[in-house]
């Protein structure tokens, strides 16, 4: 069921981002790439070791490097891959959960969840930055 939801979400991103029809498969693969790297990192390393930020970092790095390679080789915008690949990595539900816990006066768990959110956000930004260092983006758009 998870992979069916990923396929539907990937297709939805292609529609919502108004990608040209010829780029639908590319957008769908990019979204699946970001999620897949995070998921495989979690399976490779045991989840009890807090691998979510590491998975987000690696996914951000891989997606950004892939988008820069695509932009250089196809002479097309790298955002076609970067945006759909990163959108599934943004930890919005964790932020919502931490605010909900804080509003319910469960301060310890709320702050712990907020720290998980902060770690994931920092990992995502670091992954994008290191991906740009690994494969430099095009100079012109």
List per-block mean pLDDT (blocks of 10 residues) for the chain, which spans 141 residues.
91 92 93 92 74 89 95 90 90 86 90 90 95 87 58
Q: Looking at residue 89, what is its pLDDT? A: 87
Contact of 40 with 110, CB cutoff 8 Å: no
How many residues does this entry show for the chain? Answer: 141
Report the alpha-carbon distance of residue 119 to residue 42 in Å, rounded. Answer: 16
Report the alpha-carbon distance of residue 8 to residue 21 in Å, rounded. Answer: 16
Lookup result for tokens 């319910």: 104
Report the alpha-carbon distance of residue 55 to residue 50 in Å, rounded. Answer: 10
* 41, 58, 133 from 124: Cα distances, Å: 14, 8, 14
Q: Looking at residue 50, what is its pLDDT? A: 64
Q: Looking at residue 64, what is its pLDDT? A: 96
């Amino acid at each position: 069921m998870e992979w069916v939801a990923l396929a539907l979400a990937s297709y939805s991103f292609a529609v919502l981002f108004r990608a040209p029809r010829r780029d639908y498969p590319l957008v769908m693969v990019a979204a699946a790439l970001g999620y897949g790297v995070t998921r495989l990192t979690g399976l490779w390393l045991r989840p009890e070791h807090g691998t979510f930020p590491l998975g987000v970092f690696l996914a951000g790095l891989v997606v950004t490097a892939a988008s820069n390679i695509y932009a250089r080789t196809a002479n097309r915008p790298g955002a076609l891959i970067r945006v759909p690949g990163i959108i599934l990595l943004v930890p919005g539900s964790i932020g919502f959960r931490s605010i909900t816990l804080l509003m319910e006066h469960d301060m310890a768990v709320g702050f712990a969840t907020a720290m998980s959110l902060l770690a994931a956000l920092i990992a995502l930004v670091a992954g994008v930055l290191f991906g740009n260092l690994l494969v430099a983006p095009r100079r012109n758009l």
